[in-house]
């Protein structure tokens, strides 16, 4: 075993920096929290190369006294903790005394600060943890930091930074929650001299949410509740059904004025929205919780991202009740009497159909006994408890073969089917022999659109619709950055787009196959990064905006859809794995009506 020795201060400082500073967004978080703790009324953040070459933050807070100007760069130096008890009753954002020490160890740092009572301010310059200069300067009260050449002396860490777009997304994910949390403050963010955020002080959280996230105020719901005996206060802003995302990127949880992550609270909030949102769609919510500080542990994560609540079940229960009450009494939403999986109609359908594989793969699972009952009665090789296959692989292969045979049987029945009507403008009904075939018109159209769109993209001949007046789409800051990087991919898909203003893009052309171009565009940009997606992935997201449930189809349209569906490579499922068609046999219906 090598000789034990003490690490040099230089190595210790870099290890400490690695624990706190992972990327430019980590620096932004620490500096933002310091500015907020200082009581700033206005915060400006200026970046170059997504923070690689410059992070410049200015605040109007209380400033740093002359005799503290060097102390704040010492390890474990803090003005917010004086005793062990303070660690379990935290009321400030930054408190560990590691941030500036860690930043200074791996960057070129210039700090300027002045308190209200001082005649002049002071500037200190450090590089790699070593002080280079200190001098008095003339400035207004507040603090200003310039962080240059981040990770200049730790090239391995710098090498693992991602693209400017990816790093800016991380910075925006860090910056945005504080904008929502403090509507009374002014926030300015620029990158490469271009203004990305300029939020003026406003009176309430709801208005700030609408402005910061480019959401329509009429689509936002607000609710508050206090539980005096538990010393708990809840405040939530929810998006109604019109604010749906393909990922959970607009979900914010704040506990005692701190942006945090909490899996339990996030889970319960998303579960409530399942009452009004389909699978694969996620809501916007901002939840503000005030809770006794001595019953919260903010030290379970090195960067304070996660917190532990002493009575988490109580908080989750209170949030669920308030959220459900708000959605059901004030939200604009679809009819949601009971969760979809519990409705009688859905239960019957699932008993009547085969299970389908996601992403166009056949299942190798046992087929429900209710399906194709007549065929199974004639099958002498059906596995039973008394007569099972000795080889599991052989049995699986047999079942897969049976599964495919039945799909072909179903396709044959659809070819011979006669259209007999529609059900609630959602399902197309066809009669074929002794069976009723039910086609989900949205799922079927998704499959048709998906395959046609891929074929057009592969041939570089997407048929487009030109608009006399463009569609204007408001985007979040993160989505705007994604759009800028993925313009070529949108062009390949048939979307010709330009920037209308700082948070709006204009759609000038869109694929003819898409019914709702605005929805298709939002679905694409909210999923996996379009610039790194293949044609199939882009088409899969775009085809969600096909004919929807609620669109009334006549006989000719229904027959045409049936013919188009039969021409597809996989007519049995939509591109997202849902069945397009089910069969209800005479035997199955007899069983439901207890006929012998």
The model's pLDDT over 529-579, given as tens digits with 9 standing for 90+, comes to 676 667 777 777 777 656 565 577 888 888 888 888 888 877 877 777 778
Report the percent of the chain where pLDDT is more than 70. 76
The token pair that represents 91 in the structure block: 């009321």
DSSP bridge pairs for 583:
437
Top-confidence range, 105-109, 300-304, 365-369 = 105-109
Contact 296, 304 (CB under 8 A): no
The reported pLDDT for the residue numbered 435 is 84
Top-confidence range, 427-436, 517-526, 574-583 = 427-436
Cα–Cα separations (whole angstroms), residue 37 to 91, 143, 178, 259, 306: 9, 12, 12, 14, 19
Q: Return d(Cα 276, Cα 131) in angstroms, integer.
A: 58
Condensed to tens digits (0 to 9), the pLDDT of residues 174-194 reads 999 999 999 999 999 999 999
Residue among 309, 305, 268, 272 at smallest CA distance from 290: 309
Q: Return d(Cα 258, Cα 564) in angstroms, integer.
A: 54
Condensed to tens digits (0 to 9), the pLDDT of residues 309-366 reads 888 889 989 999 999 889 887 765 433 333 333 333 332 223 332 333 333 333 333 3
Q: Is 425 left (phi over 0), alpha (psi -120 to 50) or beta?
A: left
Residue among 574, 482, 462 at smallest CA distance from 528: 482
In the structure, what pLDDT confidence band is assigned to residue 402 with cuts at 50, 70 and 90?
A: very low
Condensed to tens digits (0 to 9), the pLDDT of residues 226-255 reads 998 889 999 999 998 888 888 888 999 999
Q: Is 522 left (phi over 0), alpha (psi -120 to 50) or beta?
A: alpha
DSSP conformation letters of 537-549:
HHHHHHGGGSSPT
DSSP conformation letters of 345-393:
HHHHHHHHS----GGG----SPPPTTTTHHHHHT-TT---SSS--S-HH
In a 10 Å sphere around its CB, with 0-12 CB exposed, 13-18 middle and 19+ buried, how is residue 188 labelled? middle
The reported pLDDT for the residue numbered 185 is 97
Residue among 541, 371, 517 at smallest CA distance from 454: 541
| pTM tops 0.85 | no
Contact 43, 57 (CB under 8 A): yes
Domains of the chain: 9-199 (3.30.565.10), 205-330 (3.30.230.10), 341-441+553-592 (3.30.1540.20), 461-545 (3.30.1370.100)
CB atoms within 10 A of CB 211: 19
* Strand 435-440 versus strand 427-432 pairing type: antiparallel
Contact 262, 255 (CB under 8 A): yes
| Per-residue burial over 483-509, b = 16 or more CB atoms within 10 Å of its CB, e = otherwise | bebbbebbebbbbbbeeeeebebbbbb
In a 10 Å sphere around its CB, with 0-12 CB exposed, 13-18 middle and 19+ buried, how is residue 195 labelled? exposed
Q: Return d(Cα 4, Cα 299) in angstroms, integer.
A: 30
Tell me 126's DSSP state. Answer: E
């Amino acid at each position: 075993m090598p000789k034990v020795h003490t690490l040099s201060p230089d190595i210790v400082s870099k290890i400490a920096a690695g624990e706190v500073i992972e990327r430019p967004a980590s620096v932004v978080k620490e500096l933002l929290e310091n500015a907020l703790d200082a009581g700033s009324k206005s915060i400006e953040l200026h970046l170059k190369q997504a923070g690689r070459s410059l992070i410049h933050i200015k605040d109007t807070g209380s400033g740093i006294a002359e005799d503290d100007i060097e102390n704040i760069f010492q390890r474990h130096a803090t003005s917010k903790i004086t005793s062990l008890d303070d660690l379990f009753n935290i009321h400030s954002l930054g408190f560990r005394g590691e941030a500036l020490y860690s930043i200074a160890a791996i960057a070129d740092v210039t700090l300027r600060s002045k308190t209200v009572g001082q005649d002049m301010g002071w500037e200190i310059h450090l590089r790699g943890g070593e002080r280079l200069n200190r001098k008095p300067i003339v400035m207004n009260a507040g603090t200003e930091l310039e962080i240059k050449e981040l990770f200049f002396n730790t090239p391995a860490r710098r090498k693992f930074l991602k693209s400017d777009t990816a790093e800016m997304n991380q910075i925006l994910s860090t910056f945005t929650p504080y904008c929502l949390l403090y509507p009374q403050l002014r926030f300015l963010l620029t990158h490469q001299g271009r203004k990305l955020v300029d939020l003026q002080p406003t009176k309430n959280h709801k208005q700030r949410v609408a402005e910061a996230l480019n959401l329509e105020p009429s689509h936002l719901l607000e609710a508050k509740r206090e539980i005096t005996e538990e010393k708990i206060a809840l405040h939530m802003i929810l998006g109604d059904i019109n604010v749906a995302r393909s990922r959970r990127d607009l979900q914010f949880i704040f506990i005692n004025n701190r942006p945090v992550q909490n899996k339990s609270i996030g889970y319960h909030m998303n579960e409530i929205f399942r009452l009004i949102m389909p699978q694969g769609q996620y809501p916007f919510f901002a939840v503000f919780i005030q809770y006794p500080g001595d019953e919260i542990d903010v030290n379970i994560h090195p960067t304070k991202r996660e917190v532990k609540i002493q009575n988490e079940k109580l908080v989750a229960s209170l949030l669920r009740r308030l959220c459900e009450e708000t959605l059901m009494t004030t939200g604009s939403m679809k009819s949601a009497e009971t969760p979809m999986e519990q409705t009688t109609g859905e239960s019957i359908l699932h008993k009547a159909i085969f299970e389908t594989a996601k992403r166009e793969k056949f299942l190798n699972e046992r087929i429900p006994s209710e399906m194709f009952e007549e065929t199974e009665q004639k099958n002498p090789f059906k596995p039973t408890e008394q007569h099972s296959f000795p080889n599991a692989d052989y049995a699986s292969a047999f079942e897969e073969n049976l599964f495919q045979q039945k799909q072909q049987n179903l396709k044959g029945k659809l070819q011979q089917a006669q259209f007999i009507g529609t059900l609630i403008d959602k399902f197309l009904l066809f009669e074929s022999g002794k069976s009723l075939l039910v086609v989900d018109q949205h799922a079927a159209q998704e499959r048709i659109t998906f395959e046609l769109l891929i074929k057009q993209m592969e041939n570089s001949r997407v048929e487009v619709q030109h608009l006399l007046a463009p569609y204007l789409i408001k985007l979040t800051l993160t989505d705007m950055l994604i759009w800028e990087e993925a313009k070529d991919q949108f062009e390949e898909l048939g979307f010709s787009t330009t920037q209308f203003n700082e948070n709006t893009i204009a759609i000038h052309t869109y694929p003819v196959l898409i019914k709702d171009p605005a929805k298709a565009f939002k679905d694409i940009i909210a999923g996996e990064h379009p610039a790194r997606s293949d044609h199939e992935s882009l088409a899969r997201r775009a085809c969600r905006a096909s004919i929807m449930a609620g669109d009334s189809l006549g006989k000719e349209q229904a027959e045409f859809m049936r013919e188009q569906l039969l021409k597809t490579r996989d007519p049995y499922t939509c591109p997202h794995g849902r069945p397009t068609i089910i069969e209800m046999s005479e035997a199955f219906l007899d069983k439901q009506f207890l006929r012998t």
